[in-house]
Structure 1
Amino acid sequence: MSNGSNQPQQPRGTPSSANVPRVTQTNPRVMSAARTAPLPKEQQQAQLAQKLKSEGANVALNALSIVKEKVQEFREQDRFFKYKAFIVGGWVMVSVLTFGATCGRGVKQTGDFGAKLVLIPSRSSVSILNKSQEPWTDVTIVVKDDRGAEWRASVALVAPAKEVTISPKQLLGATGQAAPSDISIRGLEMRTSEGRATLLQDGNNLTEDAQ
């Protein structure tokens, strides 16, 4: 027998190791790093905007649902409850309108009060004449000296064509102390129940310009 007949025969249909294609394995670490890489800034912003939009829609729907429930509960209440609710609502509306009107009065032009300021340097005093046709009520005089300190005096009423004189003895500081007798008045603001206005600023008498 020849040597060739002694060689083992390879089974038919079985591929040899030389012909088997090699399978390339992907590095799992590389894939993991690719998955955990941060999203682009534009994509993050788009996702955040979409999330906020969705949350806003949910909040709006919840609020609308609550309002509908409260309206339905109000309709189911008796007449006496509704009557009280209308009274409270009217009171709140009047309060809001009154507050708005008060804020609207606020700061006035110096000439709106019809005030005439006269400085009396020899006595460190001021005199304010009411030249208008209306009385001033709840009057507060705020004086600022040359050092920037504030002093205040209060007068309940100043009738038309009447004047009020403010001396250092009437001026009190933040802690209740009296103003110095030689106070140098550089600024003065008058506040009343109708608003407030600056009459003296940096030693300049604004009531003279307003006449």
Structure 2
Amino acid sequence: VLKGSDMHVHAQEYGIRYLEQPPYEVLYTNWISYCEIRRLKRIEEMVELYYNSGQFTHTLPVLEKAYPGPFAMYEALADYYQEQGYFTNSPARAYRYQILLEFAAMKDPANREIYRELLTYDMYLRENLKSRPAFAAEITEEEKQDIRRFYQTEEHERHYLSAYDQYDWKQLSRMTHLELFRYPEPHYVLFDYQERNPLNYEAKVQVIGYPIL
């Protein structure tokens, strides 16, 4: 890595054009054009938003399989952001899930519902949401009844939430989240936000049988 002073010394030799104020960002060289550098910057931003954020840990490994490798996926995602104008109008953090679903469905439409579930899982793993994500599947009346029955039973029997013995079933349902997933087979997942992983802040998860008895 060239420092500012080194860059100045070798600038003519390497055909380097760069910003003359810190952080002395390179604009182009004899070997790489300005457009190519900007393209790499856009790919870098996708890696930062989607991989380094740690918010899509279950979705990205599956989506990568639709591409020759991770770089190809982030490159295509950067192109998608560019085409949709998202670099100009930066989307809110929560909306990035919706964008990734649209992008995944465009590349791999046969697995759209799987990506929807993966993104739903990734979001609830980190967020105890007050309102349901727009991209998540709708909850049926039967599921609502199952979820209500689970919490009502848990209020009295405490099979899964023993640390919440001072709370009633309505409070339990607000402090945790129960979601039905259908792949690879139907099952409920209980997200416990009071017992988070201290390293990545992910909720504790417990798999609940389907149907709830």
Q: TM-score range by the shorter chain?
A: under 0.3
TM-score normalised by the chain length of structure 2: 0.22
Which one has a bigger Cα radius of gyration?
1
> Would you tell me which structure has more strand in proportion to its own residues?
1
Larger helix fraction of residues: 2
